[in-house]
Copies of this chain bind each other. A is one copy, B any other.
Amino acid sequence: MSPSRPETFILGVDPGSHQTGWGLIGVSGNHLRSVEHGLIRLPVKESLSARLLQLHEELTVVIERLQPDEVAVEEVYVARNAKSALILGHARGVILLACARSGVTPAEYPANTIKQAVLGQGGAAATKERVAFMVRSILGLAEVPEPADITDALACAICHAHRREMPR
């Protein structure tokens, strides 16, 4: 692949009901670089609808400002129980909506697929620490971004960069 190939920008998002990580990477051929990343923290004391509004608005600002070509959102681990899944579903709903309202159809990847994309393996051995270490290595970052919500978001973007190049 030619290094003069135009750069594609991919935004990865790791949804959470308390905080949502995001990371933008640039992809040019097989070269990946980190552009910017951040964390959307939600106020605990607000009502659920107010928290969802804040998440939706902050992510919309990020999308409008960074203008990603593509967005990839981590599919939620089917959580410990139905109640956790329901709350996480609320957060994911307004994240997918923010993409759709900005004219981007988000790709979705299960957590295990993302781990396999950056580590070559999934399952229990694929810890958050190992994902963070490999994200740093793949993107050539001086330090591991924290918290893990951000490295998970960058891993999701890396996963999409790999999968979108694969022949169907």
Hey, which bits of chain A sit against chain B, CB under 8 A? 47-50, 52-53, 56, 76, 78-79, 81-94, 96-97, 99-101, 105-106, 108
Contacts and interface: CB of A to CB of B under 8 A. Distances in A.
Given A47-B105, A53-B101, A82 B78 contact: yes
Nearest to A83: B78
Q: Interface on chain A toward B: helix, strand, loop, or mixed SS?
A: helix
Nearest to A53: B100
Contacts of A106: 49
B97 A94 contact: yes
A109 to B, nearest CB: 13
Contact of A93 (B81, B84, B90, B108): B90
Closest 4 CB pairs of A and B: A89-B89, A93-B93, A90-B93, A53-B100
Contacts of A99: 49
A86 B15 CA distance: 13
B89 A93 contact: yes
Contact of A53 (B47, B78, B81, B97): B97
A32 to B, nearest CB: 25
A166 to B, nearest CB: 20
Contacts of A97: 49, 52-53, 56, 93-94, 97
A82 to B, nearest CB: 4
Nearest to A96: B49
Contacts of A86: 76, 78-79, 85-86, 88-89, 92
